[in-house]
Amino acid sequence: MNDVTFPYWGPLLTKTSLDVDTMSKLNEKMNNANDYFHHNISKLDKEYNFNKEEIANINLLLQPYFDSYRNVYLHTWGQEEVGKFVCTNAWVNYQQQREWRPPHFHNNCDASFVIYMSVPKNLEHRDKDIAEEYTPGSIVFEYNKHAQYKDKLFNLDSCTYMPNDGDIVIFPSNLRHYSVPFTTEATRISISGNINIEELL
């Protein structure tokens, strides 16, 4: 039998863990995110933007992780080169009891990321239907979802992931995603942001 190849063509999503030093520095910077804002689609009460100076610092801290995603992209699709990944904006999310972020994607950017700064253990949801289908406090990514095909074996149209402290997930900005609510009295803290790719000179 000849070799079998697996041409990859789906959305590129990577997950890894931040090193201790990077986590420590980001924890310090969270205190500087004091520009309160509220997304139109958000069901979170507390969200805070980083200013331009802090975004520049965050970009430097996360550059090794952006480079890693970029290298996976180059290896997966065999591209010769793409420009540098640059963080353009970032904000802190405080997800509390019964809060969630509905399905959405990110506009005006090439990729997005989320870093989990603090994820409480043993999160629960009193609604059994939600708790049985999705893990409370998890993040769900959806791709080309069609209800009529959801029970077909090979039609995988979603990915659910329960994060741990220090995890960073990088994904295409047009990949629909949302956070799952929980009824436990707790706060899940994350940093989200967007990435643009600089043009090659």
Quickly list DSSP for 44-71. Answer: -SEEEE--HHHHHHHHHHHHHHHHHHHH
pLDDT exceeds 60 at position 149: no
Average predicted confidence (pLDDT) for the chain: 85
- 123 — pLDDT class (breaks 50, 70, 90): confident
| 46-89 per-position pLDDT tens digit | 888 999 999 999 999 999 999 999 998 888 776 778 889 999 99
Q: What integer pLDDT is reported at residue 168 of this predicted model?
A: 97
Which residue segments constitute the domains of the chain, with CATH numbers given?
14-197 (2.60.120.620)
Q: Which of 22, 23, 21, 26 is nearest to 50 (CA)?
A: 26
Percentage of residues in the chain having pLDDT higher than 90: 48
- Per-residue confidence (pLDDT) for residue 73, from 0 to 100: 87
Residue 170 CB contacts under 8 Å (≥ 6 apart), including other chains: 13, 14, 65, 66, 69, 111, 112, 113, 195
Retrieve residue 188's tokens: 């899940």
pLDDT value for 98: 86
